[in-house]
Each structure stands twice: as C-alpha cells, then as structure tokens.
Amino acid sequence: MSFLRILSHILVLLILCTLSIQYMMNHLDLSPLFGPGGVKSIAALLADYPQRDWGTWVMNLCMDWADDEEGAARLAIWLGYVGTVLGIALCGFRLTGWAGARVGALMTLCFAPLIWNTILVGPDGIATGVAWLGIGLAWSSTKGKWWLSIPLCCLGAFLCIFAAKIKITALPCAAYLGVVPLLAMKPRWIGKVEGIVVGLFCAGTLLYLRQHWMPSTNNHIAGGQAASLSLDTLRYGWIQLQTVFDEEDVIVQLAGVGLVGALLPGRNWFARVGISLLCGAVLCITASTLGMKIRPRYFVAAELPILILVGTAVTQYGWMRWLGQIASLGIAGMLWLDTIAYHQAWSDMMTRLSGTNPHTLVDVPDGWKNRYTKFPRLDHDDHSTIGAKRLHLLAKEAPTQFVFGVPLRDGREHHLEASGGLGGHQTRIATPKFCCQYTTDLSQCAEQTVDALLRSNSRLILPIVSKHHNRIPNDTRRWYQLMLYYASQSPNWKPDSQWGYLDGSGAQKPPCDRPPRRKKGFWEIDGEKHHTPHNNSHNRGIPDGKR
C-alpha cells in the first residue's frame, strides 16, 4: 500500500474521531467539568503543579496547543480517544489486514463505554489510549522482520507501563503483549525461534520496567486481592463480573461473536484463541483485584479485544472481506445507537442529581433505551458531588478573590478548585491541618476560621447534606459540621439548593495558608502510588447545640 493511501486512512481516522467526540461534547452539558481525575489535573495545572501525576503531566504537554487548562483537558480527551482507535486498528491490521483495521477502528469509534470513559477525561481515557497504542505498535511490528519488530515491541511494553503509571487500572492490558511471540513466529523452525526471541525481548522490557519504574507494583488496583493467575482468583473474578455486566447486553453479544471469530480456522488461528483466553483472564483478574469497588469504567481498556475478535470474524476470509465490511457498517450502526442510549441515560441521571442541562442527542428506539434502566446502579452510583453544576457556578462566578471549600468524599473538592481557578480565583480547601496551627480545640479553630473568612475577600462554599447523602469523608465530618454551624450563624450565610455560601468583604489575609509544594523530578512522578488519608477529625466532640 502506497504512503499516500496509508496517510489517507490516518486522516480519515482522525476526522472520524474528531466528529464522534465533538458530537458528544456538543450535545452533553459538561459545564460542571469532568470526572474526578480530570478536575484534579485541571486544579493542579492552575496551581502550577504539573508533577502531581502522569495524567496531569500529559495534560501539561497539551497546554502548548490549548488556550487554557480546560482546553488542555479536552485535547487530552481527543488524544486518548485517537490513541485507542489507532491501536485497535493496528491490531486488526495485524490479524486480517487493512479490512480488519477498518472494521476494528469503525466499531471502536462507536463503542459506548470507551466514549463515556473518554469524555470524562481523568487518567482513564488517556491511559487506555497510551496502552492500546503500545499494544497496536507491538502487534503490527511482528508483520515484518524480527530485528525490526524488537524495538517496536519494546516501545509497546514501555507504553503499557507508562499507561499504568497514568492509571493503574491499565496495567492488566499489558497481558495482551503475551500473544506477540505467536504473531511473530514465521514458517520453519528458524521462524519459530525468531518469534520466541521477539517475545523474550518484549517480556523482558515489560518486566524490567515494571520492577524498576513502578515502586508500588505490589499495590493492587483498588483495594481487592492481589492479582494472580490462580484458579481461585479467576473464579472470584468471574463471580464479580456477573454483578457488573448483567445489564450490559451489548458487550455480552459482542463477546459471543468475538468467540466465534477466535475459533474460526485460518491464519493466526492460534493467536486469536490466545487473545480470547487472555481477554477472559484479564477481565477476571481485573474484577478480582478491584474487590467490592466494581465499576464498569475499570474494564473498558481490558474488554477492547472483543472488538478485535469481532472484526476478525467478519474479515477472516478474502472472499468475504467486502461482505464483512458491509456487515460491519450495520454492527457499527447498532453500536452507535447503543452509544446514544448509553449517554442519554447518563445525561438524564446527571440532570436529576447534579443539575446539568438535558442532553440534545438524537432520539433512539425504546429498545435501546431499555438496556440502561438500571444505569444509576452500573455507573456513578456514589454521587458525592450532588449539585455539581451549581458548585461549578458558585465557585467560578464568585465576586471574591478567594474561594474556600472543605474536603468532599472521593476528592470531589477538586471540582471547586478547578472551577474557581478557571474563573480567575485563588482556591483553598480548609482543613484542620492547615487552619488549626495555633489551637488544638477544633471548635475554636472552626469559629476562628469562619471569622477570618468574613474579614477577608473570600467565599466559603459548604454542602448542605441530607441524611441519605454520604458526601463528607468520615475523618473530616466533625470539622465540616462545625464549619457549617458557625457559617450559618452569620447574617451573610445564603443557602442555595444543595450548597450554602458565605461571602466575606474585608481586606484581611485569608486563613489556612499552605506551604508551596515541592516540585518533583521527572522520574519521581508516581501516579499509581497509594495516598493514605490524613485523619484530621480530632477526637473532640461537637459542642452541645452545634450538631
């Protein structure tokens, strides 16, 4: 294939990726900004701290081509999405040529969980793109000479580890490099030896980087059991998977077609069977290591080989490739309808809970909508930032120089920091650690903090928590209640839906000053490191009448 034809394929892919993502972002209200990971990165960039983690570091690179931090986040969305689609296309190309590349890319473009994960930014979408770009480079390189595929396979291993540095949930994807030896093997015994050599270089690079660049490799993904290939782990993971995907009919149906694609005889048959087995094992291991914190978004990167195997099923034989590519248009159309229904359900839920505007996506038949009748249970079932849009507006449109908040569950106070920073305000999160340096009495500290805020050019924003809402971390619950009590005693206190705010009008220096963060060196950035919460609740109760 000529260079110009290859370039035309890449340009078409970039255009389709742009149109897909742009359509979703134009018809969904993303004004409360993105998911927790995205707003943490935006807040870190606003505070001139790009070394927070590797996801933030990647977004910092985008700042050279973006107008502001929010623009950098949107660019990171696009890059992660393009990287994923391109990686899947390269994998399809290795298995069934350009027909497989086109079909794989087309179905990936329309895959609902991937788009949902991507538009929420955070490390998830970026890490998925980096990991699958690396896997695609490694797989496709095995089509040529073995000595040329070695450096590309090593680069693919590096990208998989780098993706895990961005988001540790991408680490199981590295297992898909296990089929590199099978793909690299050529006819005759010398060809088999060449495949083994390529595989050894790839595995050696992967293990070396994992051992020396991931100091917390013993940390599991999110609090479950340690990852292993034991039968007990796989069995437990299978049980966990059933609690997640019982409503995901589309993924189950695709998996069935993908299994057929894996078992069809033909070239790369052994490799396709290996991919299918790896996919099941990786999904089970991911589920088992997550423990009880099961979220479909953690499985997106791991389940994408299903699309590759589906593409293999419809483009396996030369005489049916054009027929298969036509059939893939129908499959992609159904996946796009599923994507619209998926995001309609998500938008409806966010409109109800967070106050966002209703979506303007095209309507789809009820049969597609009914797939997600239990959507709140499947995704975002812990709404620790109820009323996110109002929080965004209160922080961004504050008439004061400073905007203050308190810790929220799951680090959602970063929504306030990001929104306030984008509005040109300086933001701080008030905690006893930084506000109570001169007193050990928590009640006295809260009273003094509120008084200092009233004497400064600052706005304090506090959530108004209902009994069934769990929006405040346990170790700062007393601090929040005391702050709310003293703030509500002021005549300036204004309740506003799920939030209340207090505006100061003085010129005094605001409280809770923090020392500057130490800038980390390039190799010191460690995105997957565990961060143990600081117990700042103090052992003092709330004074009588202040509960």
Residue 96 counted as domain residue: yes
User: Does a structural domain hold residue 368?
Assistant: yes
Average pLDDT, the chain: 85
- Which pLDDT band holds residue 546 (cuts at 50, 70, 90)? very low
pLDDT digit string, tens, across residues 330-347: 999 999 999 999 899 888
Domain assignment of residue 448, given as a range: 388-524
d(CA 105, CA 91): 10
Give bridge partners of residue 458 from the DSSP assignment. Answer: 402
Residue 314: pLDDT over 70: yes
- The residue with tokens 């034989």 is 317
Per-residue pLDDT at 383 = 55
Structure-token pair, residue 317: 């034989």
Task: Band the pLDDT of 378: cuts 50, 70, 90.
Answer: very low
Lowest mean pLDDT among 101-110, 371-380, 443-452, 461-470: 371-380
Tokens of residue 275, six digits: 């991919």
> In whole angstroms, what is the distance from residue 206 CA to residue 158 CA?
7
Residues 416 and 366 in one domain: no
Classify residue 496 by its DSSP letter.
E
Quickly state the pLDDT bin for 504 (edges 50, 70, 90).
very high
Q: Is 539 among the domain residues?
A: no
Closest CA to 44 of 31, 35, 53: 53
State the pLDDT at residue 375.
59
307 & 398 share domain: no
**CA dihedral of 4, 6, 11, 17, whole degrees rounded to 10:** 170
- Strands 458-463, 494-496: parallel, antiparallel or unpaired by DSSP? unpaired
- Same domain for 309 and 406, yes or no, is no
User: What sign results for the dihedral spanned by CA atoms 123, 125, 128, 129?
Assistant: negative
Asked whether residue 312 falls in the same domain as residue 352, the answer is yes
SS (H, E, C) 64-87: HHCCCHHHHHHHHHHHHHHHHHHH
Does 375 lie in the same domain as 396?
no
- Of all residues in the chain, the percent with pLDDT exceeding 90 is 47
- Position 90 scores a pLDDT of 94
The residue that leads in pLDDT, 246 or 453, is: 453
Neighbours of 159 (CB within 10 A): 25
pLDDT > 50? residue 248: yes
How many domains in the chain?
2
In a domain, 205, yes or no: yes
Give me the mean pLDDT over the 480-492 stretch.
93
In the chain, the amino acid numbered 270 is F
Is position 149 within any domain?
yes
- Indicate the residue among 381, 416, 439 that finishes a domain: 381
- What does the pLDDT average to over 426-453? 90
Question: 324 — phi, psi (to 5°)?
Answer: -65, -40
Are 340 and 364 spatial neighbours (Cβ–Cβ below 8 Å)? yes
Per-residue confidence band for 309, with pLDDT thresholds at 50, 70 and 90: very high
Tell me, what's the pLDDT at 317?
79
Residue 35 lies in a domain: yes
Dihedral angle over CA of 233, 236, 240, 242, nearest 10: 120
Same domain membership, residue 307 and residue 170: yes
pLDDT of 217 reads 43
pTM of the predicted model, to two decimals?
0.88
**pLDDT for 536 beyond 80:** no
Inter-CA distances, 404 with 39, 151, 392, 418, Å: 16, 50, 13, 12
| β-strand pairing of 499-503 with 458-463 | antiparallel
Helix (H, G, I), strand (E, B) or coil at 291: coil
3-class secondary-structure state, position 500: strand
Say what the pLDDT of residue 538 is: 37
Residues 435 and 306 in one domain: no
- pLDDT of amino acid 4: 81
DSSP lists the bridge partners of residue 503 as 459
Q: Give the tens place of pLDDT for each residue, 177-216.
A: 999 999 998 888 888 899 999 999 999 999 999 888 876 5
What mean pLDDT do residues 355-372 have?
Answer: 88
Q: Give the single-character DSSP code of 490.
A: S
pLDDT digits (tens, 9 = 90+) for 155-186: 999 999 999 999 888 888 999 999 999 999 88
| Most confident by average pLDDT, 153-167, 259-273, 470-484 | 153-167
Of 204, 21, 50, nearest in space to 108 by CA: 21
Q: How confident is the model at residue 474 (pLDDT cuts 50, 70, 90)?
A: confident
Question: Using an 8 Å Cβ cutoff, are 435 and 511 in contact?
Answer: yes
Helix (H, G, I), strand (E, B) or coil at 45: helix
39 domain residue, yes or no:
yes
Asked if residue 406 is part of any domain, the answer here is yes
Shared-domain flag, residues 84 and 206: yes
Q: Compute CA distances 491 → 61, 415, 486, 498, whole Å.
A: 46, 27, 11, 19
Rg (CA), the chain: 25
Q: Residue 275's pLDDT is what?
A: 93
Same domain, 292 and 412: no
Single-letter amino acid code for the residue at 413: E
DSSP element (H, E) containing 315 = helix 305-315
